[in-house]
Amino acid sequence: MATGNGLSIGVYVFDGAEELNVAGPFEVFTAWRERSALKPRVATFSWDGRGVRLAQGLHMVPDRSADDVGPLQLLVYPGGPGVQQLVGDRIHLEWLHAMRVQTPLLASVCTGSLVLAAAGLLAGRPATTHWDHYDELAGIDPSIMVDTETRYVDDGDVVTSAGVSAGIDMALHLVE
């Protein structure tokens, strides 16, 4: 999945991911690809490479599986109702933790931050999520400094965003 310059962006998709949490950042990054000399590779991937059914019923066929996505410079983790199952999936959380070790920049949209928190990736950091899930984020890991005021929180190598449209703002910030 690497490009000539090695810049690869992967958007993880799963059953129950919110459509705009996936499509908003994906659109920003692919529009950037068309205008940037960097020409980053932007791809979607699911756990097994099979199609997923997103939160509102849209069926999506990802480009790759988690095993085939290759090294990423940016992993985008969306939110949606499907995160509730992933927050408690030990194997998935171990995979996410391993991906974090090899991925320089991690970003979440909406409730995707809940899964990052469950994997221990937000411990002691400032972070945000959808406004209806602030308490849940704090409950997963009380050391997280939950920011209830901003649309996205950039903590260097981890960036979290609030609700759906905030994911677009976060992606624009990352492109900038």
Q: What is the pLDDT of residues 67-125, one digit of tens each?
A: 999 899 999 999 999 999 999 999 999 999 999 999 999 999 999 999 999 999 999 99
* Strands in 2-148 per DSSP E: 8-12, 41-46, 52-53, 59-60, 64-65, 74-77, 105-108, 126-127, 145-146
Spatial separation of the C-alpha atoms in residues 61 and 59, rounded to whole Å: 7
Q: How much is the pLDDT for 163?
A: 86
Evaluate if residue 21 carries a pLDDT over 90.
yes
CA 49/CA 64 separation, integer angstroms: 5
Kindly report the average pLDDT of the chain as a whole number.
95
Instruction: Give residue 17's pLDDT.
Output: 98
Read off the pLDDT band of 152 (50, 70, 90).
very high
Cβ neighbors of 150 (< 8 A, separation 6 or more) are 128, 162
Please give the average per-residue pLDDT across 56-67, as a whole number. 97
Q: How far apart are CA 149 and CA 2, in angstroms?
A: 36
pLDDT of residue 3: 43
- Token pair 């950091």: residue: 125
pLDDT band at 2 (very low <50, low <70, confident <90, very high): very low
Which residues make beta-bridge pairs with 152? Answer: 161
Which residue in 26, 33, 87 sits closest to 60, CA to CA? 26
Q: CA–CA distance from 144 to each of 2, 106, 116, 136 (Å)?
A: 33, 16, 11, 11
Tell me what the mean pLDDT of segment 36-52 comes to: 95
Positions marked active-site? 110
Structure tokens at 65: 């599986």
